[in-house]
Amino acid sequence: MKRDDMILISVDDHIIEPPDMFVNHLPKKYQDDAPQLVHRDDGSDVWKFRDTVIPNAALNAVAGRPKEEYGLEPQGLDEIRPGCYDVHERVKDMNAGGILASMNFPSFPGFAARLFATEDSDFSLSLVRAYNDWHIDEWCGAHPGRFIPMALPVIWDPQLCADEVRRVAAKGCHSLTFSENPAAMGYPSFHSDHWDPLWRALVDTGTILNVHIGSSGRLSIPAVDSPPDVMITLQPMNIVQAAADLLWSRVIKEFPGIRIALSEGGTGWIPYFLERVDRTFEMHATWTLQDFGGKLPSEVFRDHFLTCFISDPLGVRLRHDIGIGNICWEADYPHSDSMWPGAPEELHEVLERESVPDDDIDKMTHRNAMRWYSFDPFTHIPREQATVGALRKAAEGHDVSIQSRSTRLIAPEEKLEAYRSRARAAVAAAE
């Protein structure tokens, strides 16, 4: 397949939320108490909600910026591409990057919206609903066919969460972001019956549970004096634990229609994982009493789990060991792993090197995403206008050059010291 003939749907991108997102959707009685974007004297913009301050870390929005500006320091909206927070500019960036459609995870509320859990349940629920309505109606609704809508959960109440899943499903949203380890957040684990109302709602509505790396707020904590490269390398490891937890849990057995996406988790590790779970089953099922109804755990995994990759040559090579129907592509815009705007070039190079046939390419680049998320962009956009080449032609003149945007020059040594301070704080909190 030629590069310009590919159709790309990304199942993992991110929003840097705009400051006016609550205006049209939160009841007036709560407007004054809503999270606010605050501009600080150092030039950074931070979200403030009661006593909690959430900075916009630079690694979260580095698309189109030189690598020298990567880091964990907070930044202002004027230091990032408008496509990070302006949906119309986002679509221009998508066109320029050859990307037809995108599913966007939240930023400041956290992947599981724990930030919105207050002592006032009505206020908390209103915040979640306001966010979801803004995301579905304004962000996704502004450009039909370009976004797979995704909802935040009501993480503190499984029945309210189930009700919200049903509410947004009626609006066409079949994707829910959730924690990869709710127990790490102080909630019951996947192995309890606490979440049963949610599992039923997901199955009834055909909604995918997306467990994103870091969604519990707890990444693998390396030694306090280790470099940040260790933390960045280990980020996908949390998703391996989530995959094992969910595969061996009662959820899969008692809710056989449930489907789970391992978001931003990569794919290269999965063939070994599947070999390991089958070996574990073979050697230990007689005393652990695991029973998958005559199937191997690896077969059950392929029935229930969706995986995604950015380039991942090893995962592409081993795609049939993973399951060709279980793989989707992601762009990760505007995070630091993103290939934007050169994603089609890098992806096509991997596909061509691995001699991937057209049918497999179509499944991984868009057909699997459409099937899993009940999403059909072609009801809005003719297929001939949806290819990499056609989208880029529509974006001619849109500036995608690498540009310095930082208003403050921060030396690498200062960035490393700031990272070490955060690492020490994280270790202290874990203890």
Q: Which residues contact 21 (CB under 8 A, 6 or more apart)?
A: 130, 131, 134, 138
Beta strand residue intervals within 202-304, DSSP E: 208-212, 260-263
Q: Provide the β-strand partners of residue 306.
A: 261
Q: Where are the alpha helices (DSSP H) in 134-195?
A: 158-169
Structure token digits, residue 165: 């899943």
User: 196-205 and 158-169 helices cross at what angle (nearest 10)?
Assistant: 10
Residue 306 pLDDT more than 80?
Answer: yes
User: How much is the mean pLDDT over the chain?
Assistant: 93
Q: Which residues contact 355 (CB under 8 A, 6 or more apart)?
A: none
User: Which domains does the chain show, CATH number per domain?
Assistant: 11-430 (3.20.20.140)
Residues constituting the chain: 431
Lowest mean pLDDT among 53-62, 116-125, 300-309, 358-367: 53-62
pLDDT of residue 74: 74
Local confidence band at 335 (pLDDT 50, 70, 90 cut-offs): very high
Nearest residue to 156 via CA among 107, 116, 212: 116
**Cβ pair 175, 9 in contact under 8 A:** no
Query: How far is the CA of 183 from the CAs of 96, 161, 265, 402, in angstroms?
Result: 41, 17, 19, 41
**Cβ pair 376, 370 in contact under 8 A:** yes
Q: Whole-model pTM?
A: 0.94
- Side chain identity at residue 34, one-letter code: A
Q: Could you give the dihedral angle defined by the CA atoms of residues 145, 147, 148 and 150, in that order, rounded to the nearest 10 degrees?
A: -140
Angle value at C-alpha 423, between 409 and 231, nearest 5 degrees: 85
Alpha-carbon span 321 to 270, nearest angstrom: 8
Q: Which residues contact 181 (CB under 8 A, 6 or more apart)?
A: 189, 215, 216, 218, 238, 241, 242, 245
Residue 430 pLDDT more than 90?
Answer: no
pLDDT in tens, 221-267: 556 677 878 877 777 777 999 999 999 999 999 999 999 999 999 99
